[in-house]
Chain A
Amino acid sequence: MNKPVLDIRDLSVSYNTPRGPLRALRNVSMKIPDKKIVGIVGESGCGKSTLISAIIRLMAPNATVGTGEILFKDKNLLDRTTTEMRNLLGVDISMVFQDPMQTHNPVLTVGKQMVDIQYRDSLPKADKRKRAAEMLSKVGIPDADARLNQYPFEFSGGMRQRIAIAMALMAKPSLLIADEPTTALDATLEVQVIKRLRELQEEVGCAILFISHHLGVIAELCDEVVVMYAGEVIEQGSVRDVFHDPAHPYTRALLDCDPGHIKEKTRNLPTIPGEIPDLVDVADGCIFQARCTHVHGACANRPNLQPVNVAHNVACHLNQTEGAV
């Protein structure tokens, strides 16, 4: 296996709330191998966004990192000063956001923004502009040179997201974090963006941490997948292993809910009954036990991530006591 570009070890983050600390991430560990695409899935509130904000240090003011380290190229990001962090962001770590309609400055032309983003390079402006145009055509925007003079609102949503990707990859980072970059797009555009992302990833040679609700997109794009639930990693492995042979009841339930997987005609889409546990007052034991259909005695103890297969880990007692169900 490749050496990980990002290695998160035992990371815990909590938010201070009037009711006490909300433990949004609890002992999360994951590795992102160099030049690979890792997807994170999980429902809203499972800590995906908290994880990202901890990596790029854009946490809410009431968030505190408890334990753990985030090793980026063997150096702990949490030890870096704000300035060091700033010099890393946009250069070696870049980010693409969810809503393409909001990620650009509305009053500056796309060209101006793409030239501005290269402020760290001491190139003449004409060269920066040329590079911006090159990036634009790379993400598949025709007539790039002329379109640099247009404002963000003159582009469609899919185009804007591709522009955002172009801007994020401008400095050829080693890690691109994509926070649900296709959620705000319709299905056709989603495919377009995914395709471009894949092509560019190969060209730039970066690793991507890709966050999505959309299981189909993850299956399409990613090499590995991490399933998160209520602030914990409950299953991780290659896309093939996790999607074809899910070991955790939550992953299975999640896959069953994917409309793309449902073969028969149905009036009601399946859901997972119950709610996400309250993270201010986390109960002992397995985090999923309240909603799990296979709950049994062992679930009172918190399961650790254990291998079920080569590079396929799951945090569930079912796999440790009696193998697969």
Chain B
Amino acid sequence: MSTDIKTRSEIGEILYHLTRDRLGLAGLIIVSLIVFSAILAPWIVPYDPIAMNIPDRLQGPSLSHLLGTDQLGRDTFSRVIMGGRVALQVAIPTIAGAISIGLFLGMIAGYGPKWLDTLIVLLFDTLRSFPTVMFALAVVALVGPSLNTVILVIMITSIPTYGRVVRTLTQSLRSSEFITAEKSLGASTTRILGVHILPNVLGPLAVLAAMDIPTVVGLEAGLSFLGMGVKPPTPSWGSLLNDGYSLIRNTPWLIISGGIPLILTTLGFTFLGEALRDVVDPKLRGRGGVK
């Protein structure tokens, strides 16, 4: 008998294998950097990110202002850090909401009767047919820009992404032999969905969510760039870009410091997602992806 029967927990197992993958490790480091700086933002920032200081406006990087200042003399570094907080404040509830609703609807569509499936798929397709940005602009025009509007709009348009994946997975699982075996041992529908299908769906969903966070962050930035997202003076990477865009001849620092965190977020979460994909499936674990 082999002696290396593992005793680690499921999460421990995933983390262990994640850190052994170079890309996964990079992703994990970048993501934790972003997350911790967002959580600890109020204690990290050297200046109040919305405090104006007109005499010091449009400065380049210096020791007192690491990334310089904007046209109102606000410290860019502080705004970048606080902007990350805003970005995650949008991304996390959005994704959490979209996953929960998508999971619920997707499992019903995949396991339930045909007419319900048709109905839910129709709903998904309708939602997907709205271009997110256009839809967001329309909603914002109606109710005015705010953080909550952004969250709601992006959440609604992200539901089909998750719902469709869950539906397809559920459909292929429902006819698999182990589900039949469970049924033959008397499992009820709730048991089958909750105990057997859910854990099979969660892995791919986690991967999808990790990959989707940059999209949501980007959308938030995009809407804020267009002035339809987070209301000024709340710092956001998008409004940083907007400020920097009009001042690009005077100072490139604004646009650089708004852009780099966006790129890092995209890279970090994508790396993490890619690595997660190889790791969440217990069967592929430790076999090493194609790197």
Q: Do A147 and B5 touch across chains, with their CB atoms under 8 A apart?
A: yes
Q: Which residue of A lies closest to B281 (CB)?
A: A107
Q: Which residue of A lies closest to B184 (CB)?
A: A95
Q: Do B196 and A105 touch across chains, with their CB atoms under 8 A apart?
A: yes
Q: Do B200 and A94 touch across chains, with their CB atoms under 8 A apart?
A: no
Q: Known contacts A106-B200, A149-B7; decide if A95 and B283 are in contact (CB<8 Å).
A: no
**What B residues does A107 contact at CB under 8 A?**
199-200, 203, 281-282
**What B residues does A103 contact at CB under 8 A?**
177-178, 181
Query: For the complex, what is the distance from the CA of A234 to the CA of B281, rounded to whole Å?
Result: 48
Q: Do A119 and B200 touch across chains, with their CB atoms under 8 A apart?
A: no
Segment at the interface with A among B74-82, B186-194, B216-224, B236-244: B186-194
Q: Does A123 contact B (CB under 8 A)?
A: no
A168 contact from B177, B185, B195, B196, Cβ within 8 A = B185
Q: Known contacts A97-B177, A142-B1; decide if A89 and B7 are in contact (CB<8 Å).
A: no
Q: Does A146 contact B (CB under 8 A)?
A: yes
**Least Cβ distance of B77 to chain A in Å?**
44
B185 contact from A90, A142, A151, Cβ within 8 A = A90
**Least Cβ distance of B281 to chain A in Å?**
8
Q: Does A191 contact B (CB under 8 A)?
A: no
**Least Cβ distance of A209 to chain B in Å?**
13
Q: Known contacts A87-B186, A107-B282, A168-B185; decide if A97 and B180 are in contact (CB<8 Å).
A: yes
Q: Do B186 and A89 touch across chains, with their CB atoms under 8 A apart?
A: yes
Q: Which residue of B lies closest to A170 (CB)?
A: B185
The number of chain B residues touching the other chain, given as a range, is 20 to 34
Q: Does B291 contact A (CB under 8 A)?
A: no
Q: Does B249 contact A (CB under 8 A)?
A: no
**What B residues does A151 contact at CB under 8 A?**
282-283
**Least Cβ distance of B217 to chain A in Å?**
29
The number of chain A residues touching the other chain, given as a range, is 35 or more
Q: Does A293 contact B (CB under 8 A)?
A: no
Q: Does B62 contact A (CB under 8 A)?
A: no
Residues on A close to B: CB < 8 A? 56, 58, 85-91, 94-95, 97-99, 102-108, 116-117, 119, 142-143, 146-147, 149-151, 153, 164, 167-168, 177
**Least Cβ distance of A80 to chain B in Å?**
12
Query: For the complex, what is the distance from the CA of A107 to the CA of B282, rounded to whole Å?
Result: 7
Q: Do A106 and B181 touch across chains, with their CB atoms under 8 A apart?
A: no
Q: Do A153 and B283 touch across chains, with their CB atoms under 8 A apart?
A: yes
Q: What are 28 A-B interface contacts by the 8 Å CB criterion? A: A58-B183, A58-B184, A86-B187, A87-B186, A88-B186, A89-B184, A89-B185, A94-B185, A97-B181, A99-B177, A102-B177, A103-B178, A103-B181, A105-B178, A105-B196, A105-B200, A106-B200, A106-B283, A107-B200, A107-B282, A108-B196, A117-B185, A147-B5, A149-B5, A153-B283, A167-B185, A168-B185, A177-B184
Q: Do A108 and B199 touch across chains, with their CB atoms under 8 A apart?
A: yes
Q: Does B64 contact A (CB under 8 A)?
A: no
Q: Do B185 and A95 touch across chains, with their CB atoms under 8 A apart?
A: yes
**Least Cβ distance of B227 to chain A in Å?**
45
Q: Do B184 and A102 touch across chains, with their CB atoms under 8 A apart?
A: no
**Least Cβ distance of A243 to chain B in Å?**
29
**Least Cβ distance of B287 to chain A in Å?**
11
Q: Which residue of A lies closest to B203 (CB)?
A: A107
**What A residues does B188 contact at CB under 8 A?**
86
**What A residues does B283 contact at CB under 8 A?**
106, 151, 153
Known: A107-B203, A149-B7. 19 other contacts (CB 8 A): A56-B184, A58-B180, A85-B186, A89-B183, A90-B185, A90-B187, A91-B186, A95-B181, A97-B184, A102-B177, A105-B182, A105-B196, A105-B200, A116-B195, A117-B185, A143-B5, A149-B5, A151-B282, A164-B181
Q: Does B176 contact A (CB under 8 A)?
A: yes
Q: Which residue of B lies closest to A164 (CB)?
A: B181
Interface residues of B in 1-33 (CB under 8 A from A): 1, 5-7
Q: Which residue of B lies closest to A87 (CB)?
A: B186
Q: Do A90 and B200 touch across chains, with their CB atoms under 8 A apart?
A: no
**What B residues does A105 contact at CB under 8 A?**
178, 182, 196, 199-200
Q: Do B186 and A90 touch across chains, with their CB atoms under 8 A apart?
A: yes
Q: Which residue of A lies closest to B10 (CB)?
A: A109
**Least Cβ distance of A309 to chain B in Å?**
35
Residue with the greatest number of chain B CB neighbours at <10 A, chosen from A90, A99, A168: A90
Query: For the complex, what is the distance from the CA of A167 to the CA of B196, rounded to whole Å?
Result: 15
Interface residues of B in 128-181 (CB under 8 A from A): 176-178, 180-181
Query: For the complex, what is the distance from the CA of A85 to the CA of B186, rounded to whole Å?
Result: 8
**What B residues does A88 contact at CB under 8 A?**
186
